[in-house]
Amino acid sequence: MAWSSSLVVFLVTLLSIALLLLLYKQRSKESNSCIPFKWPVIGHLPSLIAQANKIHDWCVDILSHESSCSFMFHGPWFLKMNILLTCDPSNVNHIFKLNFSNYPKGDAFNEMFDILGNGIINTDGESWRFQRKLAHSLMNKHQFKISIVSRSREKAEKVLLPLLDQTAEQDKVIDLQDVFGRFTFDTSCSLVLGEDPACLAPDFPVMPFAKAVEEVEHALFLRHTVPVIWWKLKRLFKVGSEKKMFMAKKVINSFVDEIISNRRSDNCMTKSDYDLLTMYMKSLREDELWKGYFESDKYFLRDTLLSFLSDGRDTISVALTWFFWLVTMNPQAESKILEELRQDQVTRDVVGELVYLQAALCESLRLFPSIPFTRRSVLMADILPTGHRVLPEMMVVVPIYAMGRMKAIWGEDCMEFKPERWITEEGMIRHEPPNKFLSFNCGPRTCLHFNDDVHGKV
């Protein structure tokens, strides 16, 4: 009889949820308000579930109707899902810079992004400081900077452009996002691992690692749209998206572990000593500080390389895809970019002088940031500049996508693609503070190749 009682409880619960969703949809039809309805006990959760397929635009609708560009999302009280959504620049500056230590990524972030282990993206405190300092010292080496330019340019000139010319001549339709994803995957692997997998080729070969990364990204997105206990149960029993993520992890770890193992057998020798894997392996032999944060150098290298590969592959390919789409949709901007390119022989030394091109890139990142949102935990109770009170174990989410679409931040024309907004009267790139233009993060966690003095310059 016990099983039948459990079945009745389950069916009643299921019917209750279905009824709530139906009521929510009916209420949505009767109301023009963008502010989600707060249900007893379960809070705003039905709204989140209903809008999961267009969550970024949903955040735009909500925050654009709030004078402080902030909204307190209440989840079921028993699931600890209270989240402050905010894209107010003063709040961002407070969280990411002024009171940085009170807003770590936290254990919840680490567990959600468990694929990255204890790499620089996931960690806080001394471990993060050590990894950041080491990464900064290696990536600022003059030869590595030259390697970034030379390898990227070689791949573009010898592979990407000929491929695009060929498809144009044959009048073929291709997925440009897939092409840029392969391009950045090859260049990232070359710079990070010292090996080019030749993923970008006319026959578009299937790359298990790249496919696995896509499966992980999809599963991570779904984790953000459901209660934590739900995706943890799916992970425990390996079902649905979590089963796919489990299998994808095996592919990803195997790929990276094999690269590291082969490099050890080659005694760290590659065609160039200026890929990150080679530099890290040499650095770890000279400095053993890493032993205080990792079980072995194998885990350190794997977590570090995965972090760099993840950042390098996805952020750049997404940025390129949206940039070319926006330029295609705006012929006048395209003409100005081409005119500027014709006036200068584009070399490494003059790329920084292509003001309109840089402005168009900044405008593209404003409207379509590569990372559409970022999140932080709360250590101690705090009051933000907008007056919102945050408590320990709450989550603060900054929808970067929505931030670029706030009239209160960017003006009445915020939905328009206008590179001119980034150009001063003197014809120079306009500086925008990082707490307003968050595409490269803000404060101590600013992207390694950027700092507060160069934000707004791509």
- The edge-to-edge listing of strands for the beta sheet with 395-398 is 70-73, 83-86, 395-398, 374-377
Distance of CA 386 to the CA centre of its chain: 26
**Tokens linked to 298:** 């194998």
DSSP 122-158: T--HHHHHHHHHHHHHHHT-HHHHHHHHHHHHHHIII
Q: Which of 350, 427, 407 is nearest to 419 (CA)?
A: 427
CA distance 437 to 366: 7
State the DSSP H helix or E strand holding residue 305, giving kind and residue range, or none if neither. Answer: helix 297-329
CA distance 113 to 115: 5
* Torsion sign across C-alpha atoms 318, 321, 325, 328: positive
Torsion, CA 90, CA 365, CA 306, CA 207, rounded to 10: 160
H helices present in 65-124, as ranges = 89-93, 106-112
What angle is formed at CA 303 by the lines to CA 133 and CA 217, rounded to 5 degrees? 115
CA distance 212 to 240: 15
State the DSSP H helix or E strand holding residue 177, giving kind and residue range, or none if neither. Answer: helix 176-193
Torsion, CA 285, CA 278, CA 441, CA 219, rounded to 10: -100
Q: Which of 291, 324, 280, 315 is nearest to 400 (CA)?
A: 315
How many residues are recorded in the chain? Answer: 458
Amino acid at 222: L
What are the distances in angstroms from CA 431 to CA 308, 359, 424, 452?
27, 11, 9, 10
State yes or no: 447 annotated in a binding site. Answer: yes
State the DSSP H helix or E strand holding residue 70, giving kind and residue range, or none if neither. Answer: strand 70-73
Detail the residues annotated as belonging to a binding site: 447
**Which residues belong to the annotated binding site for heme?**
447
